[in-house]
Structure 1
Amino acid sequence: MRIGAHVDPTDPLDAAATREAETVQFFLADPQGWKAPEPRTDADRLRAADIDVYVHAPYVVNVATLNNRIRIPSRKLLLSHATAAATVGAKGLIVHGGHVSKGDDIAVGFDNWRKTFAYAAEQGGFATPVLIENTAGGDYACARRLDALARLWDAVGEYDVGFCLDTCHAHAGGEDLLDIVDRIKAITGRIDLIHANDSKDGFGSGRDRHDNFGHGMIDPELLVAVVRAADAPVVVETPGGAAGQTADIAFLRDRVGG
């Protein structure tokens, strides 16, 4: 089991060494912006390193929405990030499940996800595997609750889509972590990556605020149990900089191996 962290994109390999991480995740562009990624001067080093690389798509991407001014640029941005992620040897491109607006038919949102993969297929496919991540809040989200996730997978499952389980998002979204791995795998057949995060807020809060292990509202041993059951690479997205993340990585490695 490979364990690491979400790091600043300036020098991911140095950040990995500082944290004794075996995986790194980072953004290729402004997470709140619409600009396509620029080529990285360290792309060759990243591809050659004995570090598993993951890229997170910008938060603004929402391919489910019925708003054309957001959905269409989101499709194009996701495709450009997948292409750029391949240049650094990324094993996956993580993207949030997205949502529709109040009053909109969520069934259209699921179909918009299907159209996103159909659009990519017309362009030759995503150059990096896309991993859809569960989200913490929103009454009209496509991947907050597992009943919605099942409908989403009915729409996109034929495209060999991956899944990223965020423990904070599941807890805040109102999904019990005790058996969540089995319930997700019954829907998706897979968990490709774990975002292992404690939560500053209570169960079902809908709030996406990560915390370090043992400092939040999730039993640390429950987090360990989820990671062990999923048996997938792990990225911690916890606060506290290098010191906080190093401690969280060491905590997991001590209990589940790595």
Structure 2
Amino acid sequence: MRIGAHVRQDDDPIGQGERLGADLVQLFLSDPQKWHTPGEHPRTEQILASEIDVVVHSPYVINVASLNNRLRMPSRKAVAEHADAAAKIGAFGLVVHGGHVRDGESVASGVQNWRKLFERQEDKGGFAVPILVENTAGGDFAMARYIDAIGRLWDVIGDYDVGFCLDTCHAWAAGEDLVDAVERVRALIGRIDLVHLNNSRDEFDSARDRHANLADGTIDPQLLAEVALKANAPVILETPAGGLADDIAYLREQTS
């Protein structure tokens, strides 16, 4: 199992990964709360030369599912831009949140907007790296909050070989039982390509996305280790920075 972490020091991701003893790192290529176009990473040569694998997380502002043209159109553009920038540093994928529509809007139309993302990009040769859709914690009109909703999304986009990122804190917050979550996801979509292994500061089915270190949250840390083992995919810890090294060490011990 390859175990790594989201690194906050985006200007030196490999150095931070080495200090943590990580096999892979996740990073942003621009401010995650803004629409900035990512430029060339200052450490591109070092990243490409390193044995540490890299995955990129897209900005949080992206909402591909939105029925609002003023949000959906820049979201499509941003996904393509960040995929191109991710490819330039040798990333193995781009994580994109499932997104949502607003109260009273058609969830099915939001799902179709995901389909249109891939259809439109196909005419341009496809995305430069695989897109990894991530499940989300809350929202009654979300595309990927519940596992059955993820299955319905995959019925529409799965033929594009899109990947899936399972976030344990998000699933817990959504009210999904982690004991058999991996099996249920695989039964519906046939794959898990990345795991965001996070504990939660909040109770089950809270719809709140607040991560905790593996030993400090409301989820049994051994259950989290079991999810990682079952998923058999690369693992990224998005837990608080002060406990990241301990989280990596714990997970290695539990899964070795």
TM over 0.5: yes
User: What CA distance in whole angstroms lies between the structure 1 residues aligned with 2:144 and 2:185?
Assistant: 11
1:173 corresponding residue in structure 2: 174
Alignment of 1:75-114 (within 5 A): 75-114=76-115
Letter in 2 for 1:3: I
Query: Is the partner of 1:183 in helix, strand or coil?
Result: helix
The 3-state SS of whatever aligns with 1:249 is helix
Q: Does 2:250 match 1:251?
A: yes
Question: How many positions carry a matched residue from both structures?
Answer: 255
Amino acid at match of 2:235: V
Deviation at residue 119 of structure 1 after TM alignment:
1.2
- Structure 1 segments unaligned to the other structure (5+ residues): none
1:150 Cα shift?
Answer: 1.1
Q: 1:63-84 deviations in whole A, cap 9, x for unaligned?
A: 0010000000000000000000
Q: TM-score, normalised by structure 2?
A: 0.98
Q: State how far apart, in whole Å, the 1-side matches of 2:132 and 2:39 are.
A: 22
SS at match of 1:109: helix
Structure 2 CA distance, aligned partners of 1:161 and 1:181?
17
Q: Which runs of 5+ in 2 are unaligned?
A: none
1:5, 1:119 → 2: CA distance? 32
Task: List per-residue Cα deviations over 1:113-152 (Å, max 9, x = no partner).
Answer: 0000111111211001100000000000000001211110
Query: C-alpha displacement at 1:103, in angstroms?
Result: 0.4
User: CA separation in 2, counterparts of 1:87 and 1:222?
Assistant: 36
Equivalences for 1:145-184 in 2 at 5 Å? 145-184=146-185
8 Å contact from structure 2 (residues 24, 236) kept in 1: yes
Which is worse superposed, 42-51 or 192-201? Answer: 42-51
Question: Hey, what's the Cα distance between the residues in 2 that align with 1:72 and 1:123?
Answer: 16
Which whole-Å CA distance do the structure 1 matches of 2:84 and 2:188 have between them? 28
Secondary structure of the residue that 2:133 maps to in structure 1? strand
Q: CA deviation at 1:158?
A: 0.6
Residue 41 of structure 1: CA displacement? Answer: 2.4
| Aligned position for 2:118 | 117
Deviation at 1:204, TM superposition (A): 0.5
Identity %: 56
The CA deviation string for residues 210-233 of structure 1, in whole angstroms up to 9 with x for no partner, is: 000121100011001100000110
The alignment's TM-score, normalised by the length of structure 1, stands at 0.98
Question: Match of 1:95, SS?
Answer: strand
Give the partner amino acid of 1:253. R
1:3 aligns to what? 3
